[in-house]
Structure 1
């Protein structure tokens, strides 16, 4: 083990020395990555928020395009493998770092992510981590420790990785426990294997999935989505983007709108509608669609997405629970806000920013939204409830309680009569349940079809 040092006198740097250190090539990117990691892990800030080009953390926004890409790569690799990184670091430390050196833990994690998982020279990752420690008065006394620990990691990376792969779950304990309780050890293991790989890009096309798959070098999934198997350019540069022939939408996220039945000419509401993929599906299916979104900024994004596709809808910015439509809807799609644990392939920060308490709280929010949405459905109408959580508390258990407590509601079982037909593996007890290990990798999603008695 690497011994944690005592408290030798701290070296202080004048402004010139500090500027020289912080201006070293690559330093700003690594320092920003450590700040972003701290914001995500300690402050539970979503990763998308801190690395947004327009509104993200100032340290990130100040970087060059190349350095921003490096920070994104570090965070993606670091967060996907953080349970393993933590286990390795803990094994190397003779005693835990003190609370006052909390930021140093993130510096070490950022360096470890580079050494273990990125094509970055080990010496660069080590040297810049040491400089970060030296420049921070809270951690200057640990600079030698950082150097020794990371150099050892560079020498032993293969052995260290092999050990944690065999002994340590890839997920934090709270999430691993809930996964195993819901799906068992084997499915949880497969979800973990999927989690550490980058997700593919799926498209929903207006027509001719086979033709677009051939043109874009993709494949048609059993659900009808087109998966891009080789992406050599940015999505916005692909054929059909400017013409609005398709839109990016995970294959699992595209399923709920397919459960709405024949909505041609009917009044349909898409609640919690942004960013608009499901709204577009409903418009394409012929519905007279009202898109409801609480956030004005998210509604602006939704409108832009539909404009590119050449689709029109009625737009309403309002809280769902305060919405009072003049006329009830024939059908409603409610993709409710949730813990988002089904999206961990695309958002690896979720398992570090959420907690069991969040799952319980969000399940309560979903129930309130479901009650409000159901009141807006005409007698004889249909409501599809969906979310991207893997937790049954936000899916199967929530719907079971709703049906028990709502006499006028009944479930319409999803089955072979639905158009288009769906793979048997995702239909569970008349409901939709996908997990990230299915269909060669999709988001985890839940959906149920509810009908209101006449």
Structure 2
């Protein structure tokens, strides 16, 4: 704890860290995962770090609704980047989403506006508390996101996205073999457990019998099936798909540009007793010594499909970033296609809900690569309740498997290279 934090009342440093996380997302466009190591390092207690992240996530989950409450209790709207608005968002998220008593919610944020409008913050919060203000059962999406998704997918998808955003997702596990914790089985070698499950306490954790991986994220590697040939997992970290391929019998080369993320991949391989060749390289400039039987490109993307667990994407991603991501994906698809031997297969996937990072990529790729064709995904390769598109690709949108806890948004296409 820094000297500055040591002088703060108990509970305030965690709220201060939450404010800094929100500032990093909303003003600088960082992801929470990018900002958290730097910002949370000053908090010594695990529960303080967890609380700071939880507060920031709940603010981002309900941001338009929190701001509507704040604006209903002020004569003039506060600037969106005003510290008073940030403090009120944090206090209200605690009181209305995390069950923090009102007196604790406000007392721990007032020091964040020392030298500023403490009376305003206290007064607005008090007004809303006396009104017994509440948040809606399902959050309101940011206007720009709702408009973009409505244009692409329709009103029903937007409403499903709102319902999906209301709560963090359940815990999905991919199994190394047949043994694993008891839970809902939506696919073979996959288990779903309630959110909040303590991961290290589950049977098989120490033995590396499984790893955490959303159901949708587990589909791309499965579409390459079992194999005894060579497979390349491009943009592989933190390693879920690499482990799937290795467990399925492939000789895997895992490529990623981030050495820190590859350190996690190596740790995961060691824990699960699985083998892969790990290469630190930029996939856009790397080439294998020989073509592979199978290539999996889980391309860098805007990650709008994982908004349930990372609501920051709803406030960071805009059309220019979508276009930038799509440009990179086109480049990587061309590069990855060159790694596939004749008669081999290529799976392209993104955890994005944007057509530019899915359907549009397929059309562009096929037009420019005449020796590749779509290898249609069959219904029996997917979890019950998720169906392939008539063209043979897989588009997973909010609302899929909703009664079973839902899954992340994803796009997946499988291509075959002519022999």
The correspondence of residues 179-190 of structure 1 with structure 2, limited to 5 A, is: 179-190=149-160
Q: Does 1:250 align with 2:214?
A: yes
Q: Report deviation, 1:356.
A: 1.7
The correspondence of residues 25-174 of structure 1 with structure 2, limited to 5 A, is: 25-52=10-37, 56-57=38-39, 61-98=42-79, 102-133=82-113, 135-136=114-115, 140=116, 142-158=117-133, 160-162=134-136, 170-174=140-144
Structure 2 partner of 1:10? none
Q: Report deviation, 1:324.
A: 2.2
Q: Report deviation, 1:424.
A: 5.3
1:324-343 per-residue CA deviation (whole Å, 9 max, x = no partner) reads 22211111000000000111
**Residue ranges of structure 2 left out of the alignment (5+ in a row):** none
Q: CA RMSD in A?
A: 2.2
Alignment match of 2:367 (pick from 390, 400, 404): 404
The correspondence of residues 5-404 of structure 1 with structure 2, limited to 5 A, is: 22-52=7-37, 56-57=38-39, 61-98=42-79, 102-133=82-113, 135-136=114-115, 140=116, 142-158=117-133, 160-162=134-136, 170-208=140-178, 212=180, 216-222=181-187, 224-229=189-194, 232=197, 234-262=198-226, 264-404=227-367
Q: Does 1:425 align with 2:386?
A: yes
* Contact residue 223 and residue 255 of structure 1 kept, 8 A: no
Q: Secondary structure at the match of 2:135?
A: helix
TM-score normalised by structure 2 residue count: 0.92
Q: Report deviation, 1:200.
A: 0.7
Aligned residues: 413
Larger Rg: 1
Q: Report deviation, 1:368.
A: 0.3
* Contact residue 112 and residue 150 of structure 1 kept, 8 A: yes
Cα gap change, 1:432 to 1:224, in 2 (>3 Å)? farther
**Residue ranges of structure 1 left out of the alignment (5+ in a row):** 1-17
CA distance in 1, matches of 2:196, 2:67: 33
* Contact residue 71 and residue 78 of structure 2 kept, 8 A: no
| Higher alpha-carbon deviation: 361-370 or 392-401 | 392-401
| Higher alpha-carbon deviation: 369-378 or 407-416 | 407-416
1:267-323 per-residue CA deviation (whole Å, 9 max, x = no partner) reads 110000111111111111111111111111111111110111111111111111211
CA distance in 1, matches of 2:300, 2:217: 13
Q: Report deviation, 1:103.
A: 2.3
Q: Report deviation, 1:98.
A: 5.0
CA distance in 2, matches of 1:293, 1:152: 51
Cα gap change, 1:289 to 1:20, in 2 (>3 Å)? closer
Structure 2 partner of 1:8? none
